[in-house]
Amino acid sequence: MPAVVDWGRRDYLESLQAMRTLVRTRREGSIGDTLILVEHPPVVTVGVEGDDGGAVATGLPVIPVERGGHATYHGPGQLVGYPIVDLSDRHRDVRRFVHELEEVLIRTVADFGVRSGHVNGRRGVWVDGSRKIASIGIAVDHWVTLHGFALNVDVDLREFDCFHPCGFDGSVMTSLVRETGRPVTLADVRPSVIAAWEAVFFPPPALSTFPASGTEHARSTA
């Protein structure tokens, strides 16, 4: 079974360095595929597609990183996941990996009664096709993934109004608490994320459909 590591609340730059170290370790084959779960103090990160001219307006630390996408916010009440996965074992299919990562989050929020889905041409997970509950931005280093997803659980959504998250107006962002209308904590959500991660990326092998050996022997000698 793949490893899941919970870093609790951890500084973004410290986490970034530790994640990059794990990527090198995974590339060398010293560890297997690993999902890191973490919560960050308030920070804005900017992917390779830029910040849409608005990230600096937040007054928060702004950190350029190598992941795909535009700017996004990380902060308390948001569950961030960094899957360190070797795609060499998965046909080197980046699009499929992103789609499956979205599926993990779709299943997670469904556990709380929230129906969500994919939207063609838009990364992340959307409620009713118009409200974004989770963002996804990854990078790939020698076919090992880094960065990942940010699921809004009980995050302060007003922070997204200060810039253009993922290139959109901040009003598109939503959270599990907003959608359910009840308290939901990161501790509530972690088990669902882990279960969905294992089910989507590491399902148990299908049961064999071959007949029992005794039956097969009887047929072959009939």
Which CATH number covers residue 35? Answer: 3.30.930.10
Active site (catalytic) residues? 166
Tell me the pLDDT tens digit for each residue of 40-49: 999 999 999 8
Q: Return the sign of the alpha-carbon dihedral for residues 161, 162, 164, 169.
A: positive
At residue 45, the pLDDT reads: 92
Tell me the pLDDT tens digit for each residue of 95-150: 999 999 999 999 999 999 999 999 888 889 999 999 999 999 999 999 999 999 99
At residue 164, the pLDDT reads: 76
Domain span at 55: 3-221
User: Into how many domains does the chain fold?
Assistant: 1
- At residue 207 the predicted structure's pLDDT band, cuts being 50, 70 and 90, is low
